[in-house]
Amino acid sequence: MKVYVDADACPVKKTIITIAQDFNVPVVLVKSFSHFSHDDEQPGVEIIYVDAGAEAADYRIMQLAQQGDIIITQDYGLASLGLSKGCTVLHHKGFAYTDDNIDHLLQTRYVNAMARKSGKRTKGSKAFTTEDEAKFSDLFRKTLFKS
């Protein structure tokens, strides 16, 4: 089992790495070349850089992930693909994507995109909080413990 992280905009990378190291689970951070840094290199963590294209990280994660792996992303499309591949998929705000909630999440994303396209304003996501990080940390630990 590995943990794949859609890492460009992920606010819990350090938390993921720390917890995964406690469980001796390898972490793969997938990020665009525009986020290159030598400071990211750590034991037990592989970093894969991809082009800056819109879904380049998503495509690479789906090439690498296997059934039973964990994917951490805020992208509903990637979450849907990961679920269909038999992966456990988590959001950094502390909830798991499931077969029961993914259709609703995708539908909401589509409706909001159509509203924006027609000139309407939609609410953005709420700011990431310490409570969100605590929820994620708890969920991630429980997920690794079950695996």
Q: Write down the pLDDT at residue 147.
A: 78
- pTM to 2 decimals? 0.87
Q: Give residue-wise pLDDT tens across range 55-109.
A: 899 999 999 999 999 999 999 899 999 999 999 999 999 999 999 988 777 787 6
Q: Which percentage of the chain shows pLDDT scores above 70?
A: 92
Q: Write down the pLDDT at residue 40.
A: 62
Secondary structure (DSSP) of 4-32:
EEE-TT-TTHHHHHHHHHHTT--EEEEEE
The two three-digit tokens of residue 17, written as one number? 């790495």
Q: Write down the pLDDT at residue 120.
A: 75
Q: For 3-146, which CATH class?
A: alpha beta
Extents of the domains making up the chain: 3-146
**44 vs 28: which has the higher pLDDT:** 28
Q: With the CA atoms of 29, 127, 110 and 92 taken in that order, what torsion angle do they form, in degrees rounded to the nearest 10?
A: 30
Confidence of residue 20 (pLDDT cuts 50, 70, 90): very high
Q: Write down the pLDDT at residue 136.
A: 98
Q: Write down the pLDDT at residue 109.
A: 62
Q: Count other C-beta atoms under 10 Å from residue 16's C-beta.
A: 24
| Residues paired with 72 in a beta bridge | 5, 90
The answer for residues whose C-beta is within 8 angstroms of residue 110's C-beta and 6 or more apart is none
Residue 29 predicted with pLDDT over 80: yes
Average pLDDT over the chain reads 89
Rounded mean pLDDT, 24-50: 85
